[in-house]
Amino acid sequence: MEVQATFPRRVTSQVMVGDVPVGGDAPITVQSMTVTRTADHEATLQQIYDLAMAGADIVRCTCNDLDAAEGLARIVPRSPVPIVADIHHNHRMALAALEAGVQCLRLNPGNIRKPDHIRTVAAEARDRGVPIRIGVNGGSLHPDLYRKHGGMVTAEAMVESALTEIGYFAEVGFDQIKISVKASSVPLMVDAYRQLAEVTDYPLHLGVTEAGPPPAGMIKSSAGIGALLVEGIGDTIRYSLTADPVEEARAGRQLLEALGLRERRNVDLIACPSCGRAEIDVVAVAEAAMAAFADRKIPLQVAIMGCVVNGPGEARDADLGIAAGNKRGHLFIKGRNVAVVAEDEMVDALVEWAELIHEEGTEAALARVDTEKAAREAEKDRKRMLADQGDDVNHSTALIESIRLHGS
Ligand code: SF4
């Protein structure tokens, strides 16, 4: 499916994280991070595969000790996606991770502070052709910068931290850089990224750090990352959720798909909010459909509508949809009725038709059926519902009269 919308993108340099380009004209990538012990390479690899399946293009693993570095040596050759090693306080772990073959490092300038150590790691990364993410974090800002900026974490302080690190890298001729300036406050991180985008053309990794569990964590991440992406800022993203990291990868991918910045891979499920006309539990049917489509790579928009009176018209642009009426489900493709199924078979029918359209195309699916007969059945149920419910089932006319009364 074609990407539908793009936003003018900030011009950036490009780095290669293994075989995945980040920045420049490369697609915006999704990242996530394992929560297993890296030393447990089998469990970590299993999680990396799960993350890749859910939409992660790049995965980060902690490298907090030598056991973890040894785990990375086993993980990297078998990983389906490039691996970034997250380095905490010990620069020797960065050197060990490079030796293990990781395709990128993440250094936090607030944690590895000695310029000599930073230059040593950058020189080694330079020689190996491995990029580094400068991962500034509002919660672990370098103490000197914290003091300098009035004992506060500010956007200016985070940007200064990133620029200082770039300076150390430049001293050893290293420029394979991407940068993040994450904070748990959405306005602060948006401000910091905007300021950073003004002063550097390195690719930016977006995220709201410690966003928390869903749904609040999802909302904060979507607000911060989404706001920047529509401004053209951002080359790779990560949702930091207190949840199964598979949810992070899935959410990142869905955000990019929703913004038209990546091709759709999975079903885009839309559903009406339900109202007085609905004779089915729209929420329950939508949840059942989400579960049924979860692992199917079918890039179609599928609609679930509570009634056949308005549903097919309201969702006429969907690739496929179903609307309920008189204990039956009326399937439609691009607004054209194609079949009628029992109410309890609606989700199964959606999956079956979605697979058919995905494999054979819309025209071939339409050619298989008598659309006129299906339209007659839908019209029959529509008229029945209108006769039973009347044409103002949501009592809108009474509300409008009340508004006019109050307004006069
Ligand atoms: S009118 Fe029908 S399709 Fe529209 S919200 Fe109500 S139930 Fe859903």
Cα of 362 from ligand 1 centre, angstroms: 25
What pLDDT score was predicted for residue 397? 85
User: Given CA atoms 149, 152, 153, 154 in this order, what sign does their dihedral have?
Assistant: negative
385 lines ligand 1 (CB under 6 A): no
Side-chain-facing half-sphere of 216: CA atoms under 13 Å = 9
What pLDDT score was predicted for residue 3? 45
What pLDDT score was predicted for residue 398? 85
Please write the tens of the pLDDT for every residue from 332-370: 999 999 999 999 999 999 999 999 999 999 999 999 999
What pLDDT score was predicted for residue 248? 96
217 lines ligand 1 (CB under 6 A): no
305 lines ligand 1 (CB under 6 A): yes
272 lines ligand 1 (CB under 6 A): yes
Of all protein residues, whose CA lies closest to atom 2 belonging to ligand 1? 307
311 lines ligand 1 (CB under 6 A): yes
273 lines ligand 1 (CB under 6 A): yes
Is beta strand 14-17 parallel, antiparallel or unpaired with respect to 320-325? unpaired
* DSSP 8-state symbol, 305: E
Alpha helices per DSSP H over 7-106:
41-54, 66-75, 91-100
What pLDDT score was predicted for residue 266? 85
What pLDDT score was predicted for residue 273? 83
Q: What is the pTM of this model?
A: 0.83
Ligand 1 pocket test: pick from 280, 304, 310, 316 the residue with the most ligand atoms within 8 Å of its Cβ. Answer: 310
Q: Which residues of the chain have pLDDT under 70?
A: 1-5
Is beta strand 20-23 parallel, antiparallel or unpaired with respect to 29-33? unpaired
**Per-position DSSP letters for 7-34, written without gaps between them:** -PPPP--EEEETTEEEETTSPPEEEEE-
322 lines ligand 1 (CB under 6 A): no
275 lines ligand 1 (CB under 6 A): yes
Contact 14, 203 (CB under 8 A): yes
What pLDDT score was predicted for residue 4? 52
Through-space distance between the first and last CA atoms of the chain, rounded to whole angstroms:
52
- Which atom of ligand 1 has the smallest separation from the CA of 277? 7
